[in-house]
A and B are shown apart, each in its own frame.
Chain A
C-alpha cells in the first residue's frame, strides 16, 4: 500500500483543511496509508550563516523522503498560502531536498466560495522552484469552498458530488504516483541538481 504524508497547511487548532485531510485518511484507508503532518510548531524561516534547520523540520523531511507522495492541504490567506506553510516549505528546502520528484497532490479548503484557488496556483509555482522541484499532479484542483459548512458531525463530507470528485482525483493521484515511479530514471540526476543548485551560494 502506498504511503503518503499529508501536510496540514494551517496552524490553527480548528482547521477545516486538517478536517479534509483527516477525512481523506479515513475515506481512502483501504487504498493508501495517509499520515498527517503538522507544521504549526515550526518557527518562522530564518537564514543563518550556519544554515541551522530545526530538528522537527529534519524529521519531517525524512518522513517525506520515505513517503511515496505528499498531499498538501492549503488554506488561502490574502490570496496566497499561509506564511506558516510557506515557512515550512522554506525549511524543507534549506540544505535538504525531500520534495525533489516527489508526487504532490494539492487540496484546499476555504470559508469563501473560491476554495483557495489563488493560493493553490501560487503553491504550484512555489513547488516548482529549483530547491523544491516537486512533481505536482497536473490539471487537477480540489477546491473545497464554504469549508465551515462542508462536514457533518462525524467529520464526513456532506455533499456527494464533492465526494465523487475527491475520489476521482485520488484515483488519478494513485496512478500519477505509479507513473512517476517509472520516471525514476532522472530522479538521481534531479536530486543532484537540486543539491547543487543553491540559492545562497550563487556567485
Chain B
C-alpha cells in the first residue's frame, strides 16, 4: 500500500511534518509513505494558472499514483493554514488529482484540543465538488501538547498515543481498500489480467522456455537452486530441501503455486496426474496460465486472479461439479502477499471434504437429510451462495461461487490441461 503524506505547514520547523515522518518510519513495515514538500508552491491565483508546471504536476502525479493521502494540518486562526489551502485550490482548479482519493486527516498542535476546528474545515474543503476527496468520518488524530510529545530522535514518547495512531491507521487502510475497490468495481480491469505471463516479477526465472518439459531442471541450473540436504531457513523453522519435500508431499491436499506473473511454478507431486483430484503433470510446471486451461475457462480464471490481485477477494472457494455422496471436492484460491502487503500469487489447494464430513457424522452419530427448503441443484456442486450452478462434468470445472453467476463456468486453475 502506497500513501502520500503532506504536511500543511511550510514553517522551517514543523511538528506536523515531524508527525508525518514518525508515521512513515514507525509503520514502514505496513505502508509506504512518501512525504511531499509544498514549500515552493506559490499562492493560488486563478489569473496565473501554473497547474501544468513541474511543481504541481509532480505533486499531482504522486497523488494519482498513491492509494491514499495523509494530510497533517496545523491550525491557524481556527482554520487550515493558507499554504495547505492554497495547494488544495491548485488541486481543484484545472487538475483534480484528489478526486476520489481516500484522505486521512491528522494534526499536531500546541494545545490539547488543537487543530480540531482546522480538521473540521479541512473535511468540508475536501468534500467540495472541485476537490472530491473522500475522508473517513471520525477517524481523526489530534496530537495535542505537541511540544512535549516527541523525544530527541523524533519518536513519539507515549505508547498509548502510538497505539491509537496505529489503530486509526489500520482503519484508514481498510477504508482505502474499500474505496479503491468500489471505484474499480464496474470497470473491465480484470480483462487485462495477463495469463500469458509476460510480466516477469523479481522472482521470475527468465530465459527458460516456459513450455519446456524440464523447465524445473533448467530453471534450477539458472538459479543455482539448492536441493537435497541443503538447509532452507523458513518462517518459522529450518528444514533441508528433502525434509521440505517430505513434508509437502504428505499434505492431505493438492497444493499449487501460481506466481504473480501467472506462471505455474510448483505443485506438491504426490501421485500420478490421473489419480489426482485436479490433474497436474511434472512437465506442466513452468507453464503460463493460458497453457494449462482450455480457452473457454480463460475469462473466469482472469476474473478470479484479478480479484485476488486487487484485494477484492482474499479467498475464492469453488466446488467441483459431479460431487456425490462419496465425494465433495473443493478448490480454494488464496491470495499470497509479501511483507509489504504486495500481491505475490495464488496458493491453490484442492481437497475432498467428504472424509471430513463423514468422520464427523460417524463420531457424532448424526446423518444427513435433505433440506426441504433446499435451493441447490443436487447434481451440481453447491455454490458458496447457495445458488444452483450447472456445469459440464467432463470438464472438471468449478461452479459459480455467487448467486448472480449461474451460467456454466470453468475456473479450475490447472485441471483443464488434461484435455487440451
Contacts and interface: CB of A to CB of B under 8 A. Distances in A.
Interface of A: 11-14, 40, 43-49, 77-84, 86-87, 89-90, 93, 118, 122, 125-126, 128-129, 131-132, 199-200, 202-203
A77 B124 CA distance: 11
A129 B42 contact: no
Contacts of B147: 203
Interface residues of B, number: 36
A114 B117 CA distance: 23
A118 B79 CA distance: 13
Given A80-B128, A86-B76, 12 more contacts: A40-B45, A44-B42, A46-B83, A47-B11, A78-B88, A78-B89, A78-B130, A80-B124, A84-B43, A122-B79, A125-B121, A126-B77
Contact of B111 (A82, A90, A132, A202): A202
Contacts of B46: 12
B125 A80 contact: yes
Contact of B89 (A13, A77, A89, A131): A77
Given A11-B43, A122-B124, A128-B78, A203 B148 contact: yes
Contacts of A81: 79
28 contacts: A43-B43, A44-B43, A45-B82, A46-B11, A46-B83, A77-B85, A77-B92, A78-B89, A78-B125, A78-B130, A80-B80, A80-B124, A80-B125, A81-B79, A82-B89, A83-B44, A83-B82, A83-B86, A83-B89, A84-B44, A86-B77, A90-B81, A125-B117, A126-B77, A126-B79, A128-B78, A129-B78, A203-B148
Contacts of A43: 43
A13 B82 contact: no
B108 interface: no
Contacts of A200: 110
B110 A199 contact: yes
Given A45-B83, A202-B110, A79 B77 contact: no
B219 interface: no
Contacts of A203: 110, 145, 147-148
B10 A90 contact: no
Q: Is the interface of A mostly helix, strand, loop or mixed?
A: loop
Interface string B1-37: 0000000011110000000000000000000000000
B47 interface: yes
A131 B44 contact: no
Contacts of A89: 77
A78 B77 contact: no
Nearest to B122: A80
Contact of A13 (B42, B47, B83, B145): B47
B301 interface: no
Interface in B151-198: none
Given A12-B45, A79-B125, A129-B77, A84 B88 contact: no
Contacts of B111: 202
A153 to B, nearest CB: 22
Contacts, number: 109
Interface of B: 9-12, 42-47, 76-83, 85-86, 88-89, 92, 110-111, 117, 121, 124-125, 127-128, 130-131, 145, 147-148
Contacts of B128: 78-80
Contacts of B82: 44-45, 83-84, 86-87, 90
Given A12-B47, A47-B11, A80 B77 contact: no
Contacts of A48: 11-12
Contacts of A199: 110
B78 A125 contact: yes
B145 A83 contact: no
A44 B117 CA distance: 21
B314 to A, nearest CB: 37
B58 to A, nearest CB: 18
A96 B71 CA distance: 29
B46 to A, nearest CB: 5
Contacts of B83: 44-46, 83, 87
A47 B14 CA distance: 10
3 nearest CB pairs, A to B: A87-B82, A83-B86, A83-B85
Given A77-B44, A84-B45, A45 B125 contact: no
